[in-house]
């Protein structure tokens, strides 16, 4: 039995984002797969740009929770994502992290035309990259697939607060240190 999460509407552009998240194993989904599906749904709802970025990922990736010895595989396609119990197929990269701790990644802004370079060369992008390189967020095969790693972590990282982004972008609200 398959469960498909509801599609999303982009209120700004009026276009239908329509990037469903399907839990392949339905109600028998393990805790990691259910948590990852929930995280994706929340992030796509808060920031439709992540759905656009997911369409470009196009490769299966896995999340492995060493504490519970459980895992989930996410297969991103142009029409939607499918979350499987366990390691399904041959994932490009494997993130070794508890799914709930993925919500603690630094918040990152994903814009309409975000590329790996624009995601990496920001303060938060550098923090995520540092976490991968130092092993705080272990990602197996990250060196072989840096673009997939950056895109996946941008999709999984929480969206930035739009109110905070708009305020900090306004030069009239800037305060001086003097």
From first to last of its 178 residues, what are the pLDDT tens digits of the chain? Answer: 344 444 433 334 333 447 899 999 887 889 999 999 999 998 888 888 888 888 888 889 999 998 899 999 999 998 899 999 999 989 999 999 877 777 777 676 666 555 666 666 777 677 777 888 888 888 898 888 888 888 888 888 887 765 434 333 333 333 333 3
Architecture of domain 3-163: 2-Layer Sandwich (3.30)
Instruction: Provide the pLDDT for residue 61.
Output: 95
What does pTM read for this prediction? 0.74
For the chain, give every domain's residue range.
3-163
Name the maximum alpha-carbon separation found in the chain: 63
Instruction: Provide the pLDDT for residue 161.
Output: 63
Instruction: Provide the pLDDT for residue 74.
Output: 95
Instruction: Provide the pLDDT for residue 40.
Output: 92
* 91 and 60 Cβ atoms separated by less than 8 Å: yes
Instruction: Provide the pLDDT for residue 120.
Output: 66
Cα–Cα nearest to 56, from 138, 154, 143: 154
Q: Which residues contact 10 (CB under 8 A, 6 or more apart)?
A: 16, 17, 48
Residue holding tokens 């590329």?
A: 115
């Amino acid at each position: 039995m398959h469960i498909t999460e509801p599609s999303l509407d982009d209120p700004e552009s009026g276009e239908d984002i329509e990037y469903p998240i399907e839990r392949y194993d339905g109600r028998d989904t393990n805790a990691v797969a259910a948590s990852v599906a929930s995280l994706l749904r929340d992030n796509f709802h808060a920031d439709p740009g992540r759905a656009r970025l997911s369409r470009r990922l196009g490769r299966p990736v896995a999340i492995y929770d060493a504490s519970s010895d459980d895992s989930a595989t996410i297969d991103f396609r142009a029409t939607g994502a499918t979350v499987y119990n366990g390691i399904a197929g041959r994932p490009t990269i494997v993130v070794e992290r508890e799914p709930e701790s993925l919500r603690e990644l630094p918040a990152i802004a994903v814009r309409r035309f975000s590329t790996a370079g624009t995601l990496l060369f920001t303060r938060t992008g550098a923090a995520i990259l540092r976490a991968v390189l130092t092993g705080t967020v272990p990602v197996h095969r990250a060196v072989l697939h840096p673009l997939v790693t950056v895109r996946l972590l941008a999709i999984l990282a929480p969206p930035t607060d739009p109110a905070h982004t708009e305020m900090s972008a306004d030069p009239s609200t800037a305060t001086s240190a003097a």
